[in-house]
Amino acid sequence: MPTKSYPLDDIENVLPILNKIALFGALTEKQLYTVFRLLEKASLKAGEYVFRQEDEPRNIWIIRKGKVKIVADSELGVLELAELGVGECLGETAVIGIQPHTASALAVEDTELMSLSRAALLSIFDQDKELFGFLMMNIAREACRRLGQADEVLLHYVLRKPH
């Protein structure tokens, strides 16, 4: 797990990534700058965990460089659920749901991350209700999109199952 986080200082390299992320969709440039000031960066070596299944969520993570695999321990062993790359987010639904992570996130290769802590997210609520509302709506949309994908996978397996 990342042991140290540092404030970001290269806005010209980060804003193009933020502009492509659904979580930050429909934000104005001023709102993106507000988010940027709250982001921190962290680095992981291949094989290190961003977080583990059942950990308490503390951050929304954005992949800046590298790849992260989402894996879950189950009765069937370790299941690989997804592989995420640059510009993709993880941990956002656990942060707003205040639920332990349902899977682990493992760096597949050396990876650079940006994070928005739960505390930083709550500070946005205090400072800019409109920005907070956009972020919550975007997180809800992303959660719904992922639920739809999970439904399709489950339906696929149910329909394949002999009766």
What digits encode the pLDDT tens for the residues 29-66? 899 989 989 999 999 999 999 999 999 999 999 999 99
**Average pLDDT per consecutive 10 residues, the chain (163 residues; last block may be shorter):** 64 77 87 92 96 95 95 87 90 87 96 94 95 93 83 76 58
In a domain, 69, yes or no: yes
CATH classification at residue 19: 2.60.120.10
In a domain, 126, yes or no: yes
| Structural domain count, the chain | 1
In a domain, 86, yes or no: yes
- C-alpha dist (Å) from residue 150 to 31, 95, 137, 147, 155: 31, 20, 20, 5, 9
Buried b (16+ CB within 10 A) or exposed e, 33-59: ebbbebbbbbbbeeeebbbebebebbb
In a domain, 125, yes or no: yes
List the structure tokens of 37.
């000031």
The domain containing residue 23 runs over which residues? 6-160
Q: What number of other Cβ atoms are within 10 A of residue 61's Cβ? A: 25
Q: Structure pTM?
A: 0.82
In a domain, 1, yes or no: no
